Structure formats: C-alpha cells, structure tokens
A and B are shown apart, each in its own frame.
Chain A
Amino acid sequence: MALLVCKEKCTGCGVCAQTCPFDAIDIVNGTAVIKASCNLCGACIEVCEFEALQMEQIEAPVSDLSTYRGVWIFAEQRGGVLSSVAMELLNEGRKLADRLGVSLSAVLLGHEISAQASILVAHGADRVLFVDDPALKDFNDDAYTAVLADLIRKERPEIVLSGATAIGRSFIPKVAARLGTGLTADCTALDVDPGKRLLLQTRPAWGGNILATILCPSRRPQMATVRHKVFKRADQDERRKGEIERRGLNGISLDLKSQVIRTVEEIENTVNITEADIIVSGGRGVASKENFAVIEDLARALGGAVGASRGAVDAEWISYAHQVGQTGKTVCPKLYIACGISGAVQHLAGMQSSEVIVAVNKDPDAPIFKAATYGIVGDLFEIVPLMTRRLKEMLEGTK
C-alpha cells in the first residue's frame, strides 16, 4: 500500500501536513509530498477537502489464510498456579470466538498440573492443550517459544492472545518472530470484524497520548498481548464441559540457551498494587520522601495499597514497584485516590479503568480532574490527613 497525492487536486493548503501525527508530509512548491516516515494511518485522507489524497492498494501475496481457525489464549502459570490474566483472556477470548463462530482453546505449559487445566475449562475454554514435561515446569524463554510456536504451526489458530506479563512480554515476541507474523503488545481493547475475520487490536502509543487500532491482515495467527486487569475475569462455572488434551514434547527440540538458577520472590502487601481494591497514590505534589507517610497513612486506614506517579518514583521518594502508569503498572481498583498527581496521559493510561477515581490537587486546572469521579481542589496535606483522621474516628465509632 502507498499514500498517493493527486497533484491536480492538491492545492497545497497544508491541512494534511498539520494533521499528520508522524510529521510525514511536507508542502513543496505548493504540493503535498509524502515522506518516508508515512505510516499509512490515513488521518490526512480524512481531512483533505479536495480529496487529493488516497491509499493505493498494492496486492500483496497472501497465502490461504482461511485455513487458520480458532481463538487461542496462552494460560500462564507460575509455580504451578494459573495467573489471573489467563481467566481475563478467557473472558475476552470467549467473546471473540463466539463472534467468529470458532472454538476457544487454552494452551497450558507446565508439569503435572492437570487440575489447572480443569480450571481453564471451568472458565470457558472449549479445549485445553496441556503440554506436560519437566522442562516446562518453570518458565524458560527458549522452551516455551519452541513449544508454543510448534503447536501454532501444527494447529493453525487464527488468533493467539497472551498476557502482557513479564513472561508474556519476554517470549511471545519470540514466537511471533519465529512464525513471521504480527504481534500487537499491551492492547487495551480487542474487537473482531467477522466478515474479514480480522482482529482489531487497540493499544496506546506515544506515552498514552494516542490510541491506535492495529490490524494484521495478511499473516496468521494474529497475535496480541493484553495487560493484567484490562479485562474482567471470566466467571467460573464447574458445569462447563471441555476437552483437555494432555501431551508430551513429542520430540520438539528445545535448544535451551538459558537456565534459571534461582527464583526470588519479593511480594509485600503494600506493594502488590495490581491486586488491590483500594489504592491511594501520591505524585509530585507530595514533595518529599518523608511526606509519603501521609499517603501511606490514608492507604492503611482504608486497607488499601500505595501507588505513585512516575514523577514521584523518578524523584526517588518511593520505589518503582509502586509506579502506576504507561511505564509502570496498570491497575483497576474499586477506588483510586490520586493525591498531588497532575494527571498526565501516561499516568491515566495506568489507572483510568478504576471504578471510582478521586482527585485531590491544588491546581484547579490539573487534567486529573477531567478523569475523576470526584474532585477536591485543595491542599493534599490538609485534605488527606483529615480523611485519615475521619476514617479512623468512624472505625472507632463503629466498634
């Protein structure tokens, strides 16, 4: 495909150049010229009053994609226990599979964890492909890549979804590269075009400033990763029936190039913000490491976790494990209280799906107020301790 300028129609008005998000159009001698950085997004075509821009379709060789059928999800497990993201993927995967009229399968790699396979069926998998081998007990880039790629080559699913977790982001790109297919990471929304059997993959880019919908029209499978808590978990229904196919490596060559020597867990209650139902978050407005105690006190009073904006983490007032946002964690608690956080798009990208968002900020024009359910313009050093005190009083009162 290429973007073409019809020189007769182009007036050199420059609206396309201004609109282009990739700075790919120059006006030279009164005519639009498309530069190498053009990404074919088509934003310019929409704004051209003179219809001087159009997409030229170049026929690309397409092998018979229609033989690829089925929606797969990669069911991640750690220490023999399924990660919650697997159930979230089953929920979304079910919707996609139903609209495409195909089955939903879960791929489980591990050793002696058949019970986990049953859990996947209870959450909606029509079929579980369980590859059972000691070599797959713990995550290994090379082993998991080899096995999943081999399964996909043999079974030919049209869509493969995976969690954008440390494991997913490590080996799923390798699978995509091995298969020579497209992968879209960190999707925040998925949809299908059942007629064309296309997966519409929507994800943030430019630090969360824009959303892009990506397609993978001419390769299969269409692969996407999704962050934890972007989708809700599927319901568990023990009455659901599904096939569990347990198999071995069957001669797949693993070619292991790395080996885990030791695993170290570092979970603290206040740190595991991705699981928390209530999060109190501090930003640049907190002004110092010592002042974060104010945030921690409120979190404790509410029984919640402590979060932070990138600004607070960069200033070294709190550790990176608490960072919420585009380059931190995605959270979706019932209640998110943002204190002294301006509400840059990158931060919102990490917490905007919270049920109730409360913003406390001195600046009445802070963008966070546009995203908040309740906003208080005020000094967080007044409001937050007051909240903590009132909550404690109430808890005393009810005892």
Chain B
Amino acid sequence: MNIVVCIKQVPDVSDVRINPETHTLIREGVPSIINPFDMYAIEEGIRLRERFGGKVTVLTMGPPQAEAALRDAVSMGADDAVLLSDRAFAGSDTLATSYTLSMAIRKFGSLDVVICGKQAIDGDTAQVGPEISENLQWGFAAYVRKIEDIADGNLRLERLMDDGYDILNVRLPAVITVVKEINRPRLPSLKGKMQAKKMAIPVWTAEQIGADPERVGLKGSPTKVWKIFTPEFKRKGERIEGEPRAQVDRLISEIRRLGIV
C-alpha cells in the first residue's frame, strides 16, 4: 500500500499565553510540535503498512523549520518525507492549502490512502482533509475511528457520527481523517531517530508541483483574517465564602432562586 500522511507543525497552543496589554499571543519559548491529531494519522499509516505492506511518506506544507516535524514522524517509523515549502504558499487558507497538498499528492504517482489528522490545533478548522478529497475526486471518510479491513478495492471503516458511528465501505484510493480513538501513537525508536537524522528530505516548490499561481498562497485564499482579538469572559463572579456547609447552602439557595432546580 502506498500511503501519504499529511502533517502540520504547530505551536503548542496549550503553552500559549496572551499578552494582557496588547491582547496578542506570546510566542517566545513556545515549542513547535507535530499537530497532536496528526500523530494518530502517522501511527495509523505505519500500522496499515505493518498489516498490508507498502510505504508511508509524510508530507507537510510549511516554512523550512517544518522539516523537524517530518523528521519526528520518520523517527516513529515513516519511510520517507517531503517538505512543501515556497514563499508563494504564504498566507494560505484551507482552500489554498488543500489545493497545494493535492498537487503534491498527485506527484507521488499511484497512491492508495491519504491520511490526515482530524484538525490542526492552531487553525482548528478540520477542512483540509475533506477539501483534499474533493480536489483529487477520491473516496472520503471523516472522523475514522477504526479501519476494519481492505477488501475488493474498498476500505471498510468505522466513522464517528454525533450519536454513534457508521460502518462504511469507501472506494480506494481514499482520503481519511482520523480521531484519537483510532490508536495510541508509538514512541520513536532509536533506529528511527538515527534514520531521521540522516535522511535527505526533498523540498518541493510551487513550480515543481505544477501549481497554478492563482490558486496558492494569498491569491488562492478566498478567506481573509479581518481582525484578531482576545475573548473576554465576563461574569458576575461572586465568591461564596464561609464554611463548606454554609457555602453549599448558599449555592443551593441561589440556584433554586434562579429556578434551575
């Protein structure tokens, strides 16, 4: 099976703090990590290879430092890596990003599965996976929580729905996005880390993937960020003081007064 896993290098948003004066993000000292949901995608790709044979390539679109994320994925066991990097890609929204990734995916030749994480923890849109499937006109399933089998040119899988799950047959080649329930990502191995260190990772530019300049980067992004601000959580904020017994009584009387109970 030829598998491509799309990953993204993101800042560790759980570490991010807001500057209380300028209401902007404090980025110093925030480490860059592989988007946590992509770890499950990488692990699933490796497991598919272990089950059905083949090759796993990790792909990312990003600035040059995104290479570190690719190497981390190789140290887990991915066979190959490609970095898509070009000034022309700057300012891409999800439409432009998915177009760019699709053009790169086309360059790989015959593939069976493209795996993405459910969403990226910085953008949080969960749009790139489905948009790639549309660009490639491949079969698609979102929120896959288990891959049961591959048979007759179909992927049989479980897709999470709001009230349960569906069992789906998706025609190959297919794009899937995966959720945390699907597996537990492995740690890197020492041999993997060494291979990752040595590996030459090719950088593909817009020209190399034959991208239409009108469809990448800022030009190819219909959505624009107009404004950024910090959310404000303002509440009445009453501290109920006293001994636990008194605190509980006061709280209960309040929620009764409000008619909730």
Contacts and interface: CB of A to CB of B under 8 A. Distances in A.
How many interface residues does chain A have, given as a range?
35 or more
Contacts of A153: none
B225 A39 contact: yes
Contacts of A370: 233, 235, 237
A211 B171 contact: no
Contacts of A192: none
B247 A383 contact: yes
B225 A41 contact: yes
Contact of B223 (A20, A183, A302, A345): A183
A354 B126 CA distance: 25
A372 B138 CA distance: 47
Interface string B199-237: 000000000000000000011011111111111010111
A357 interface: yes
Interface stretch (B18-26, B39-47, B51-59): B18-26
Contact of B167 (A23, A142, A260, A377): A260
A47 B122 contact: no
A171 B17 CA distance: 34
B225 A166 contact: no
**Which secondary structure dominates where chain B touches chain A?**
mixed
A373 B236 contact: yes
A320 B254 CA distance: 31
B255 A356 contact: yes
Nearest to A262: B167
Given A266-B165, A302-B261, A171 B252 contact: no
A182 B168 contact: no
Which of B135, B143, B218, B227 gathers the greatest number of chain A CB atoms within 10 Å?
A: B227
A212 B225 contact: yes
A358 B251 contact: yes
A288 interface: no
Given A38-B91, A47-B22, A352-B233, A257 B170 contact: yes
Contacts, number: 290
A374 interface: yes
Interface residues of B, number: 91
Contacts of B98: 177
B13 A207 contact: yes
B164 A266 contact: yes
Nearest to A200: B226
Contact of A378 (B160, B238, B244): B244
A119 to B, nearest CB: 19
Interface in A361-399: 369-379, 382-383, 386-387, 390-391, 394
A373 B235 contact: yes
A209 interface: yes
Contacts of A171: 130
A345 B231 contact: yes
Contacts of B169: 258-259, 261
Nearest to B222: A182
Interface stretch (A97-105, A110-118, A213-221, A239-247): A213-221
Contact of B124 (A165, A205, A266, A391): A205
A174 interface: yes
Contacts of B237: 369-370, 372-373, 375
Contacts of B119: 327
**Which secondary structure dominates where chain A touches chain B?**
mixed
B181 interface: yes
A9 interface: no
A184 B223 contact: yes
A174 B163 contact: no
B94 to A, nearest CB: 7
Contact of A178 (B127, B134, B167, B227): B134
Contact of B251 (A21, A326, A376): A376
B134 A174 contact: yes
Contact of A206 (B16, B127, B239): B16
Given A257-B171, A370-B233, A375-B240, A60 B219 contact: yes
A387 B124 contact: no
Contacts of B89: 36
A379 B247 CA distance: 12
A363 to B, nearest CB: 13
18 contacts: A18-B19, A43-B24, A142-B140, A183-B223, A186-B125, A207-B122, A209-B18, A210-B228, A216-B224, A219-B222, A255-B137, A257-B138, A263-B161, A335-B255, A335-B261, A356-B260, A374-B238, A387-B248
Identify the 4 closest CB pairs spanning chains A and B, nearest first. A182-B222, A207-B13, A257-B139, A182-B223
Interface of A: 1-2, 18-21, 23, 36-43, 47, 60, 78, 141-142, 145, 165-167, 169-174, 176-178, 180-186, 200, 203-219, 255, 257-267, 272, 277-278, 302, 320, 326-327, 334-335, 344-346, 348-349, 352, 355-358, 369-379, 382-383, 386-387, 390-391, 394
Given A37-B90, A204-B124, 19 more contacts: A1-B218, A37-B63, A166-B162, A169-B126, A183-B95, A206-B11, A206-B16, A207-B14, A219-B222, A257-B170, A263-B164, A263-B165, A264-B165, A267-B164, A334-B260, A344-B14, A369-B239, A374-B240, A387-B252
Interface of B: 11, 13-14, 16-19, 22, 24-25, 27, 63, 87, 89-91, 93-95, 98, 119, 121-131, 133-135, 137-143, 156, 159-171, 174, 180-181, 218-219, 221-231, 233, 235-240, 244-245, 247-249, 251-252, 254-255, 258, 260-261
